Structure 1
Amino acid sequence: MTLSDVAAASGVSRATVSFVLNDDPNQTISPTTSDRVRQAARDLGYVPHGIARALREGSSRIVVLNVDWGLEGNYSRSYIRGLDDELAAHDHVLLVRHGHCAPHSTQQVLDTIAPRAVLRFAAHLTGHEPGAAGDWRAGFAANAALQIRHLADRGHTHVAMALPDHDSPLLEVRLRLARETVSTLGLAPLTSFVVPRPRTAGTSAVKAFLAAHGTVTAVAAFDDDIALRTLTALHDLGLAAPDDLAVIGFDDTEYGALVTPALTTVRIDAEVHGRLAARAALGLDPAGLSPAPGRIIARDSA
């Protein structure tokens, strides 16, 4: 079915059908005519021709999101859900690419589908993209600070951050935010260490760190995965959380509730962040959208 078929069925010109189906803001079409055109399109099963529309508008109605390896979790899932729903509400489609996206592969995407926008999830978190969540009120910075504040509220003054053994675009920003929070709360300077794979290597790393930093009483882990590695190392060393060392995770994966002791962590609903990013990509007003603050899921490990 074509625009001409819809025009014939609704008794209007092809141009009028185009104005109605594209919600052209520069045209005034009566509600009665608009309803008749939309009903005819539904009855005929009309589907817009994506390639033709992309040529006319200068880009497709596709928004691409690149998610680096290691950034998948509750935060990214809720962010993607909000981004997808908001784009769909404005007649756009989301395409998610996982893993490292080399410049040449990104260029292939640009050349092939001419997307409306290309977003990088890590850039959203680090504050280098419109609609980023890097603020101290309800954004990523505030959520990262929750970890340290929870430990400080329980009397811990010497805190360390446990890090992954792989590169992550968030490593530097997480460390910076943690150091700033520690300084603001008047705690001892933050120390950090890597908890690598496999299990024996992680246990050795935790043992060596505790031997060299006897004043540290709590660990804020980079994410739940690193927190679980730390808890496993404590178990292998004959130690326990939180009595010997308090451990708090980040991003509330499902496994944290299944271990003993159950993992205390930070849960973030990033759906509104995704909606804000969608509106920024489409050049729409973000009014009415307020990110929800993260919250502590208090269990047994800290």
Structure 2
Amino acid sequence: MEHGRRATLKDVAAASGVSRATVSFVLNDTPNQTISEATRARVLQAVQDLGYKPHGIAKALREGTSRIVVLQIDSGLDGNHSRSYLRGLDQELTEHDHLLVVRHGPAGEESARRVLNAINPRAVLIFGEPYRNGRVVEDEGDARDGPAAHVALQIAYLAENGHREIALAVPEATPPSAARRWFAQVAAGELGLPPLRDLVVPRPRDAGTAAIAAFRAANPSVTAIAAHDDDVALRALTALHDLGVDVPDECAVIGFDDTEYGALFTPALTTVHIDAEAHGRHAARAILGLNPAAPGTAPARVIPRQTV
């Protein structure tokens, strides 16, 4: 076997002088198979000598419900929160010999039923559902981590830079936006700021520019925009550019979740970076019924660039 290459079932069969089917029967302790103790011992010794480990995907597909976890994620979610969550969830599941299957797109009832019928997973997760609802890893009231703390960090950064009249920009009026608005208003109140102004920034570009123009005309005292995510922040920056508004001197903008596209924009977008790897690991351990102990969460942080 080549140095550094992972041992395969074929390698074990060759080393023990039996067929791959026999190796599989031994490893799976398949009933109704007549295999001598000498052969069984030879196969197990080859497994130990070669450091063979069953392929996780194959094992998951064989065992179905005990080895597969499905994560449903909106195809439009692409930030450090989702990427780090996926990384933590996948790593923790892999360490416990489980397989993560990720489905992108809308999670309709019929679609979910087909998944359950086809692969009988151990669990189906909806990405971001606990986060949007304000539930965090250890405690719903945890002030160090989770949506309330992350939104508070965003609003506080604007306040620290002298902004009092702030708009909260969202893509549309949806339940997640309502939850986000509540967290932001609580943060503003705790900082002694006036209530945040509501701002919906729609697509396409012309509609977004028109919305920003109308908002600024109706709210001339607003000097900063806290965006629902980096996508909305970039829509706002584009609209402000089209309107000839100087950023950040006339209007500051801060994003959320650092998709990294903001760093390519001019001016480069100030944003909040969220690392949710530990969240993913905690979710995996909860699914597997394990002690929730896992690496502590990394605190969110502001990435200062040029728009605040």
Is the pair's TM-score, using the shorter chain for normalization, greater than 0.5?
A: yes
Partner of 1:53: 63
Structure 2, unaligned runs of 5 or more: 1-8, 19-23, 30-40
| Letter aligned with residue 295 of structure 2 | L
Moved over 3 A (4+): 14-19, 35-38, 40-54, 127-135
Flag structure 1 segments of 5+ consecutive residues without an equivalent.
Answer: 20-31
Match of 2:161 in 1: 154
Equivalent residue in structure 2 for 1:103, among 85, 106, 109: 109
Asked whether the 8 Å contact 1:51–1:60 carries over to 2, the reply is no
Q: Give yes or no for the alignment of 1:223 onto 2:229.
A: yes
TM-score by length of 2: 0.80
Q: For residues 213-234 of structure 1, what are the alpha-carbon distances to aligned partners after superposition, in whole Å with 9 as ceiling and x for unaligned?
A: 1121111011111111111111
In structure 2, the CA distance between the partners of 1:155 and 1:49, relative to structure 1 (3 Å rule), is closer
User: Which residue of structure 2 lines up, in the alignment, with residue 289 of structure 1?
Assistant: 295
Displacement after TM superposition at 1:126 (Å): 2.3
Letter paired with 2:157: H
Alpha-carbon distance, 1:191 to partner: 1.1
2:147 to 133, 140, 146: 140
Alignment of 1:17-166 (within 5 A): 36=45, 38-39=47-48, 50=60, 53-54=63-64, 59-127=65-133, 131=137, 135-165=142-172
SS in 1 for 2:282: helix
Cα 1:221–1:129, aligned 2, differ >3 Å: closer, same or farther? closer
**Cα distance change on mapping 1:228 and 1:91 into 2, 3 Å:** same
Contact 1:139 / 1:293 at 8 angstroms: preserved in 2?
no
| Aligned match for 1:241, one of 241, 244, 247 | 247
Give RMSD over aligned pairs: 3.2
Structure 1 residues 44 and 185, CA gap change in structure 2 (3 angstroms) = closer
- Deviation of the 1:133 alpha carbon: 8.3
1:170 match: secondary structure? helix
| Paired residue secondary structure (1:110) | helix
Match of 1:232 in 2: 238
**In the TM superposition, what whole-angstrom CA distance separates every residue of 1:227-271 from its partner, at most 9, and x where no partner exists?**
111111111111111110110001112221112211100011111
The residue type equivalent to 2:189 in the other structure is S
Distance in 1, Cα, partners of 2:156 & 2:230: 17
Contact 1:264 1:296 in 2 (8 A): yes
Tell me the TM-score normalized by structure 1: 0.81
Change (3 A) 1:298 1:145: same
**Is 1:267 equivalent to 2:276 in the alignment?**
no
Distance in 1, matches of 2:55 and 2:266, equals: 56
- For 1:181, the equivalent position in structure 2 comes to 187
1:84 to 1:195, Cα distance in 2 relative to 1, 3 A: same
* Separation of aligned partners in 2, 1:117 and 1:243: 49
- The share of aligned pairs that are identical, in percent, is 51
